Amino acid sequence: MSTVPPPLPPKDTAITYILWFFLGLFGIHHFYMGKIGRGILWLLTGGLFFIGWIVDLFTIPSQVRTVNARRSVGLR
């Protein structure tokens, strides 16, 4: 019988915004949420040339909800 791994702890929206504000152009908030590919893209392009950084201002709450929903069922 296989055991189901425990759900991963949720990510916090406030922490994500703090990381976005201070280190967002380097993609640190994406690394925090587990979005490694997007974090590398932000790191190499300066937050998609600053435009992606601004878009994240409005989309972080939904991004964190999506990440937390995935983590609650055991997905990374």
Torsion of CA 10, 30, 22, 25, to 10 degrees: -170
Residue 6, pLDDT above cutoff 90: no
Q: Is the pLDDT of residue 73 over 70?
A: yes
| Strands of the chain, DSSP E | none
**Cβ proximity of 60 and 29 under 8 Å:** yes
- What's the rounded mean pLDDT across residues 20-44? 96
Neighbours of 44 (CB within 10 A): 10
* pLDDT over threshold 70, residue 1: no
pLDDT for the residue numbered 39 = 97
